[in-house]
Amino acid sequence: MTTFAIGDIHGCLPSLEELLRQIPTDAKLLFIGDIVNRGPQSLATIRKVMSFGKRAECLLGNHEIHLMAVYAGKRALGKGDTIQEVLDAPDCDEIIEWLRHRPMALFKHNYLMVHAACDWRWSLDDTLKYARKVEKFFRSDKWRDEIGEIFGRQQWDKSLKGKKKLRAIVNVLTRTRFLNPDGSMDFKQKWSPSETPKEYIPWFEYPGRKTADTKIVFGHWSTLGSTSWPNIFPLDTGCLWGGKLTALRLNKHPMYLSVKAPLYVKPW
Ligand SMILES: [Mn+2]
């Protein structure tokens, strides 16, 4: 079956609808996460993605995890958040139930899909194994009481246990753009590599990364721009701030599709 991965939507429903008009109606859809927040129509976008049923799968991005934590009463809404309408919706409980059963990583048609990044020390199997740990937590009865404990600037270390380990995995998979020279995650830089001091290394360029031979599709980094780095397929092309919404056909010959988006919000 033809499968398209779709980049970060951030509630920009008109752009999603325009993009979908270019995708065959029987194609499978894999959303890369951050379908909600910051943009204008989070509620309608999430309902749209849910309405595809088995035709679509959706990774959890940092904004979905934030939404789950606000729902659980463990985090406050921030400036720029536009998810109140989801929290106020009559079907909010159903939306959160759906979200907490979504994956943190997928491997389809020989592409690894993550919202933001893989750790340079992780193989493909490690990445999927660690993603499953976080999914297991979200699907457990403890998620609501304990989701507040998975936020914070925890670096990855193999010896971590419990919530610290989950926190590091979530940071790698949903928040990372640059690494420091020692391989630790940077949590501040948000611009493109050309606008960022050279000591910060894009995660996919880190020497010795174990997934170097795996094709990786990811979103999250709207300012990245195009890259010719081997096996790297970025899909967040900044539809929120007047860039594009982009899809990538994963099987047959890889092919990008994109639609120009109106400006909703300036990046940061
Ligand atoms: Mn993101």
**In a domain? residue 221:** yes
**In a domain? residue 124:** yes
pLDDT category at 268 given cuts 50, 70, 90 is low
Residue 176 CA, ligand 1 centroid: distance in Å:
9
pLDDT category at 1 given cuts 50, 70, 90 is confident
Q: Which residues share a beta bridge with 54? A: none
Check pLDDT > 80 for residue 266: no
pLDDT for res 174: 98
Residue 144 buriedness (CB in 10 A; 0-12 / 13-18 / 19+): middle
- Total domain count for the chain? 1
Residues bordering ligand 1, an ion, CB closer than 5 Å: 34, 61-62, 220
**In a domain? residue 265:** no
pLDDT for res 264: 80
Residue 236 CA, ligand 1 centroid: distance in Å:
9
**In a domain? residue 268:** no
Amino acid at 49: V
Structure tokens at 48: 């749209």
Q: Give percent of the chain with pLDDT exceeding 70.
A: 99
CA quadruple 208, 155, 204, 249: dihedral sign: positive
Residue 70 CA, ligand 1 centroid: distance in Å:
16
How many whole angstroms separate alpha carbon 28 and alpha carbon 4? Answer: 6
Residue 221 CA, ligand 1 centroid: distance in Å:
7
Instruction: Check if the beta carbon of residue 101 is closer than 8 Å to that of residue 133.
Output: no
CATH number at 113 reads 3.60.21.10
Residue 38 CA, ligand 1 centroid: distance in Å:
11
Q: Which residues share a beta bridge with 263? A: 241
Q: What is the pTM of this model?
A: 0.97
pLDDT category at 11 given cuts 50, 70, 90 is very high
User: Can you give the residue range of the structural domain that contains 243?
Assistant: 3-260
> What are all long-range contacts of 21-25, with beta carbons under 8 Å and residues at least 24 apart?
22/247, 22/257, 22/259, 23/247, 23/257
Give per-residue pLDDT as tens, 205-255.
Answer: 999 999 999 999 999 999 999 899 999 999 999 999 999 999 999 998 899
pLDDT for res 267: 63
pLDDT category at 263 given cuts 50, 70, 90 is confident
**In a domain? residue 133:** yes
Q: What's the average model confidence in pLDDT over 195-214?
A: 97
Mean pLDDT of the chain, nearest integer? 96
**In a domain? residue 266:** no
Give per-residue pLDDT as tens, 246-256.
Answer: 999 999 889 99
Instruction: Check if the beta carbon of residue 204 is closer than 8 Å to that of residue 211.
Output: no
Residue 8 CA, ligand 1 centroid: distance in Å:
7
Instruction: Check if the beta carbon of residue 18 is closer than 8 Å to that of residue 243.
Output: no
